[in-house]
Amino acid sequence: MSGRAQLMWDEAVTGYDFGPGHPMDPVRLALTMRLVEAYGLDRAVRLAAAKPAGDSTLRLVHRPDYVAAVRRASADPGSADGSYGLGTEDDPAFAGMHEASALIAGQSVGAAEAVWRGDALHAVNFAGGLHHAMPGSAAGFCVYNDASLAVARLLELGAERVAYVDVDVHHGDGVQAAFWEDPRVLTISLHEHPRTLFPGTGWPEEAGGPGAEGGAVNLALPAGTGDAGWLRSFHAVVPELLAEFRPQVLVTQHGADTHFDDPLAHLAVSLDAQRLVMEACHELAHEYVDGRWVALGGGGYAVVDVVPRSWTHLVAITAGQPVDPEAAVPQEWRDEVYARTRQLAPQRMTDGLRPQWRDFGASGYDPADRLDQAILATRRAVFPAHGLLPLP
């Protein structure tokens, strides 16, 4: 198997554009790629561009009538009336929507194929991670669910067990729905509590359908959770489940909207903690799946200060050339940021924090702590189905 990482990139993914004023500004993708290039990481990976996902691939997850509706809205945006979730405030129709959405999906599917076939050990599509799209509707800025399609393609290629870990601030509801009754897929989502954030799902009791009990794992974090709690939660749930499930491939989603600067959510996570979770996913991939790792982007609406730095760290980690958090951001990139956005760019690849966290198993459960209550609720809901004890 090749040890080299593969980065999926086609500049045309920036055509996924809901229009002026929409939070999902495609400049975040362009600026991420320019920062990757400024650090020379594009030379440390194999760059690849996959074809747009065709109808047969899209139908691995999406209903034919929905794909047809996206095509119609793409050709005539004015005809979108809110049916199928198209033409809404979150998902306004735009010309070329089908083509741009299918292209992003194609990159995630291509990443999955490269890893499964051994062409790359790790593969990244930071334009992907559009985890809210449902089989028959758009939702939450997501038209086609590339994350689900990547998992579905792995299953089609012969994978018997795939683990999907989603650390976006929003619940990975579309991926959970796609594999709700499929025991071959373990979906794990860490997200802000559904009481305080879209999409209002992701309760610990959502634990999988008939025949797949324990296959959906949801850790609903209290609003305001910061680095220590976020890292404690991740390590209290993810490693034990992966060890027991024994996946053959790990697919992860790294939405950057957990950050304390993100305008659409209420967690208080730093860039430095996001980087630590990326490193943990890298280590878990090598420990449990022989390194087979597909890493996707996701949400993130602090499009200058957070998203490009976060996902550049992700590319660097997959490439085996991590960027020093104290490294100065290249001036050429800062100039590009100002030229495109008239905003001043961050100067370093860190928020200046050194996150510390207490291990749940070593420090024990505190019944008065809201975070520990959330962790235990998740462990109680799913650990017994995997033969694990809720309390360590």
Amino acid at 390: P
SS3 at position 106 = helix
CA atoms within 13 A on the CB side of 305: 13
Please give the C-alpha separations between residue 314 and each of 251, 253, 256, 279, 317, in angstroms, as whole numbers.
13, 11, 11, 8, 5
Residue 248 and residue 269: Cα distance in Å, rounded? Answer: 30
C-alpha of 119 from chain center: 22
Residue 93 and residue 12: Cα distance in Å, rounded? Answer: 17
Packing angle, helices 370-382 and 227-245, rounded to 10: 10
295: exposed, middle or buried (Cβ count in 10 Å: 0-12, 13-18, 19+): buried
Residue 90 and residue 372: Cα distance in Å, rounded? Answer: 33
- DSSP line for 20-38: TT-S--THHHHHHHHHHHH
Q: Which residues touch 43 (CB under 8 Å, ≥6 apart)?
A: none
Residues in the chain: 392
CA atoms within 13 A on the CB side of 106: 19
Active site residue 132: yes
SS3 at position 358 = coil
Q: How far apart are the first and last CA of the chain?
A: 37
Please give the C-alpha separations between residue 159 and each of 250, 279, 292, 382, in angstroms, as whole numbers.
11, 24, 12, 23
Q: What are the φ/ψ torsions at residue 176 (nearest 5 degrees)?
A: -55, -45
Q: Which residues touch 278 (CB under 8 Å, ≥6 apart)?
A: 254, 295, 313, 314, 317
SS3 at position 58 = helix
CB atoms within 10 A of CB 392: 14
Q: Report the relative pairing of strands 162-166 and 185-192 from DSSP bridges.
A: parallel
Check 98, 122, 131, 132 and give the catalytic one.
132
What is the set of active-site residues?
A: 132
